[in-house]
Amino acid sequence: MSVWSKIACLCALAVCAVVSQRTHAQYPSFSSVGYTTENSGLSHNTVLNMFQDSRGFIWIGTMDGLNRFDGINFKIYRHNPTDSTTISDSFIHGIFERSNGDLWIGTRDGGFNILDPVTESITRINHRLDNRYNVPDKPANLIFEDSKGFFWMGFFTSSMGTFDDEHRKFIPANIKQKISGEPVNSINHVLELNDGAFLFSSLNGLYYLPPKEVEAFRCDPRSDLTIEATNLFFRKDNPGPEINTLYVDENGALWAELVGMGFQKAESFAFPKEAQMSLESGVAKSSAPNIIEEREEYLLIGGG
């Protein structure tokens, strides 16, 4: 049984540590330990995202606060309206560590925050600052640095794009559905595949962005450049579900966490040949998921 099919059978706790115990010639059995506000000091019992940084700290985004977990204790970061050095909003949508070590924190109402993990200083990137950053007034949910060092960010009901570090400005990507020409918005999670293609989830289903389209925007990031994504039918009985997170298991199968429905396996055999070949190339990198595989047979899963 794959890791992701095991996950599909679990009930979510605030943060659930799941341990699989195997014995010879038997199916694995599971036990779990929940970390909640009552027993651990977690800031809120609804966990929206988790990320493990290069130093080993686990960062947990909740509906009320950012939590840093060192394996024993939680440290909580919250918004204080009278203190501009705090995070801009306590409702945390996304967490990602860039290659320079900075942590980028996406929020519902306060844009992005850049957290220096050494000094713990915070820089806010949002629409309230005279819109100097060209950041939409939308929840910031996607943060991702791909294998070539190109930085992506995205917003609910708005587009994914890049943040130009030199000019400190957001440049949206004009991503449209290949057949209908409709804009592709509300991108939740990105899988970068080894051949350079992207698979990404959204509230409108599953999409495939071929390598040439990804590279076109990397080489010339501008909002008037149209890049075309192919809408993939997720399953025959559910072609375009609302999808949060994507995973590829050790057998190469694609799984998705559907909004309000748990994990389901995609019918990837029905994908266009180009998308099938990209998926078979394997995963190069992933934007922050809501699950951490601490070690073999020990998982941390966020829920609520």
For tokens 């014995």, the residue is 23
pLDDT tens string, the chain, 304 residues long: the values are: 334 333 333 333 455 554 555 444 444 455 555 666 766 678 888 888 888 889 989 898 899 999 998 888 889 999 999 999 999 999 998 888 998 999 999 999 999 999 998 899 999 998 876 678 898 889 988 889 999 999 999 998 888 999 998 888 999 999 999 999 999 988 989 999 999 999 999 988 999 999 999 999 999 999 999 999 999 999 999 999 999 889 888 889 999 888 888 788 999 999 999 999 999 999 999 886 566 665 555 556 666 5
Assign 216 to helix, strand or coil. helix
Phi, psi of 122 (to 5 degrees): -125, 130
pTM of the model: 0.81
> What's the angle, vertex CA 94, arms to CA 46 and CA 100, rounded to 5?
140
Q: Give the start-to-end residue ranges of the domains of the chain.
A: 3-302
Residues 6+ apart with CB under 8 A from 138: 155, 156, 157, 158
Measured from the Cβ of residue 48, the count of other Cβ atoms closer than 10 Å reads: 22
Q: Say how many residues make up the chain.
A: 304
HSE-CB of 208 using CA atoms within 13 angstroms:
21
DSSP state of 269: G
Q: Which CATH superfamily is domain 3-302 in?
A: YVTN repeat-like/Quinoprotein amine dehydrogenase (2.130.10.10)
> What's the angle, vertex CA 125, arms to CA 121 and CA 127, rounded to 5?
145
Q: Could you tell me which of 193, 194, 149, 155 has the C-alpha nearest to residue 175?
A: 155
Pairing of strands 174-177, 226-232: parallel
For tokens 């809501």, the residue is 290
- Residue 223 and residue 157: Cα distance in Å, rounded? 16
- Residue 107 and residue 155: Cα distance in Å, rounded? 10
